[in-house]
A and B are shown apart, each in its own frame.
Chain A
């Protein structure tokens, strides 16, 4: 092998180059994601032997041909990718990979922040999570604090019901919504009777209903969904909840699909399937996979709030406990573990 040359490839204009990238990735059992904005490439006498893609601030579609492995090519590619990303305004990069590739990317400067049994999420700055955390607003009431993660796009009647239900369950509520939705949701929440006990925080980067796991290494949509939910829940339990004193977590029950929702707009958020993973990742003493982050992460009490339904008794529920923490006096049910 001669010394490979490092360069870049624009997938929007270089169709021939993109075909070579696709072949290289396929040779390593990987796919080509369509949203890659730039590839950093390594060429050995014109032949493509290594590539790393950048989509926004996410590193993806990385491969080094088997015959040139062990020569430090990945380090050269990642160095160049870091510079290209910085030039595009992305100071902190993120990537998702299989758990067995974790050590490889640790040697390339990444730090693992969350992990499911199959997928690990890593970041190029060990400070990024702590920086996000420092910007979060705390509740000042003390006592039990419940968290609610909403996409709030738009803030629906279902969202409003969840926030109200959470406020009736505990002393204070932390609502996480995407940063762009903060102002709109604040205006809606201020109309609620318990507005003074509700704190809004931006959740976009770490606290989302589901992190977007790229498809290039995990083709199954269901697998990606499961991993994305697991990663975000683990991050929440380990890094966010202890920091903000959060003790409870509120989700819509999985069967609360808006089949009988009175409001015309379809209630899409939060993801109805989020409740079961929340139980496995938050309420159980042991998470399905240990977190790469240090520190003790106590279990949270998960409340599943059923959807708006005239007669809740018409559909039997597996575990319904009477409300004990705070009397509510309406048809809300509570399922805790």
Chain B
């Protein structure tokens, strides 16, 4: 997969992780974690391993970890990259004000200049 646009996945809540991805010419991974001193290297290994599995070779990946377990971390990385892939659904037609946000760039239908 390819990081073709900005996307994010996850939350800032405890035991979760927020992953932001942006397009870029080379692969850059930045890790921030509440458990960085103890697990920082492990987190980086899991993230780069999962990006590798997904075939991601370029892009900026920011991982803001709040103590997520490994499977959560992998799921959030995959979620963000899937949303950023050029083949991902670009927009949710008919989204109303009370619908849950999608985290996809430009996913709100624009009506008279207002999303």
Contact = CB atoms under 8 A, between A and B. Distances in A.
Interface of A: 7-8, 10, 37, 72, 75-76, 78-80, 82-84, 86-89, 91-92, 107-109, 124-127, 131, 134
Interface in B46-105: 60, 62, 64, 66, 97-98, 101-105
Given A88-B108, A88-B115, A127 B62 contact: yes
Contacts of B66: 75
Contact of B11 (A75, A124, A127): A75
A101 B62 CA distance: 22
Contacts of B22: 91-92, 125, 127, 131
A69 to B, nearest CB: 15
B107 A87 contact: yes
Nearest to A81: B101
B51 to A, nearest CB: 15
Given A91-B6, A109-B18, A86 B101 contact: yes
Nearest to A84: B101
Contacts of B8: 82-83, 86, 91
A80 B60 contact: no
Given A72-B14, A88-B115, A83 B30 contact: no
Given A87-B108, A125-B60, A127-B62, A8 B97 contact: yes
A72 B104 CA distance: 24
Contacts of B6: 86, 91-92
Given A8-B97, A82-B18, A127-B28, A76 B102 contact: no
A79 B106 contact: no
Nearest to B83: A86
A87 B104 contact: yes
Contact of B12 (A37, A88, A109): A109
30 contacts: A7-B98, A10-B97, A76-B12, A79-B12, A79-B18, A82-B12, A84-B101, A86-B8, A86-B102, A86-B107, A87-B101, A87-B103, A87-B107, A87-B108, A87-B115, A88-B108, A89-B106, A91-B6, A91-B105, A107-B12, A109-B12, A109-B18, A109-B20, A109-B32, A109-B64, A125-B22, A125-B60, A126-B30, A127-B22, A127-B24
A79 B13 contact: yes
Highest count of chain B CB atoms <10 Å: which of A37, A76, A79, A84: A79
A83 B115 CA distance: 13
Given A8-B97, A82-B18, A87 B12 contact: no
A83 B102 contact: yes
A297 B44 CA distance: 30
Contacts, number: 84
A156 B16 CA distance: 53
B104 to A, nearest CB: 7
A89 B13 contact: no
B41 to A, nearest CB: 18
A87 B62 contact: no
Nearest to A80: B101
A87 B102 contact: yes
Given A87-B108, A88-B115, 18 more contacts: A8-B97, A72-B14, A75-B12, A75-B66, A82-B12, A82-B18, A83-B102, A86-B7, A86-B101, A86-B102, A86-B104, A87-B101, A87-B106, A91-B20, A109-B18, A125-B60, A126-B30, A134-B25
A72 B13 contact: yes
Contacts of A92: 6, 22
B24 A76 contact: no
A79 B12 CA distance: 6
Contacts of B12: 75-76, 78-79, 82, 107-109
B63 to A, nearest CB: 10
Contacts of A82: 8, 12, 18, 103
Nearest to B107: A87
A256 to B, nearest CB: 40
A35 to B, nearest CB: 14
Nearest to A82: B8
